[in-house]
Amino acid sequence: MTTEIFQYGRYCCIYQLVRESRKTVRLSVRPDQLVVLRCPEEASLDQVNRFLRRKWVWIKKQKQYFSQFCGIPTTKEYVSGTSFLYLGRQYQLIVCDALEDSAVIGRGKITVFINSRANQERRVERILIHWYLTKSKSIFQERLAEMLLRFDLKIIPHLVIKKMQKRWGSFVRGKTIILNPRLIQASKDCIDYVIAHELCHYTYKRHDKNFYKLLSNKFRGWEKIKAKLEFRLGTSIVYIPGGIFSE
């Protein structure tokens, strides 16, 4: 089984290719929006791509159908051993006793220190969410500064971090960029893509051909990065609730 990227015009998606002893091709889209294509062992990628080009509209419709259920947060246990995403990598949660509540990251682990075992999971959840939001404020500001170097804008946008149900980002009134805090779970290239996308809205408000021409000029290969972002965070990994952080 391998992970492949299918691109047809502006449409792009990641799928799992399974080669097995069979004579036909079977295409499916799971409720988590994962696309799986099973094909004969001897099938070439060119043959697979030709098949997908005939089915891309069906794939898009299936993913759109299942996407309506992705706003429901996934239940997560805040106990030692549970895995959490941060900047595109999986980290194991470790809970330890300490004099003060805090959280640190390192060596593949996110360690949460708590000063009381009362309501442990609720306490760990609160500490971890605050840690995520604090990291978001720092990392997003850093990536915004980096992306601004690619643009010749007359303003420096104000950054706001705010939970959104259906968007990764938004550009408001030509001066404010809003980013979804869940983006901190994605890799930096995914964060950069969302920021670049929103910065393009300073010049073009609508998603027309001029907008995508500018986006392709400022962020080459954005289609694959967008597909990776939707593949990794298509369903809730960690639910980061309310609160607004601004800089």
Q: Which residue, 67, 93, 113, sits at the end of a domain?
A: 67
CATH of the domain at 190: 3.30.2010.10
Number of domains in the chain: 2
- Is the predicted pLDDT of residue 237 greater than 50, yes or no? no
Q: C-alpha distances in angstroms, 46 versus 51, 148, 224?
A: 9, 39, 18
**What pLDDT, on a 0 to 100 scale, did the predictor assign at position 243?**
36
* Domain co-membership, 109 together with 12: no
Is residue 78 in a domain?
A: no
Q: How far apart are CA 11 and CA 17, in angstroms?
A: 18
| Whether 134 and 202 share a structural domain | yes
Q: Categorize the per-residue pLDDT at 235 as very low, low, confident or very high, splitting at 50, 70 and 90.
A: very low
Provide mean pLDDT across the span 189-213: 93
Q: What is the DSSP letter of 181?
A: G
pLDDT tens sequence across 91-104: 999 999 888 889 99
Angle at 93 between CA 30 and CA 169, to 5 degrees: 55
Count of alpha carbons within 13 angstroms of residue 103, beta-carbon side: 23
Residue 25 lies in domain? 2-67
89 and 198, same domain (yes or no): yes
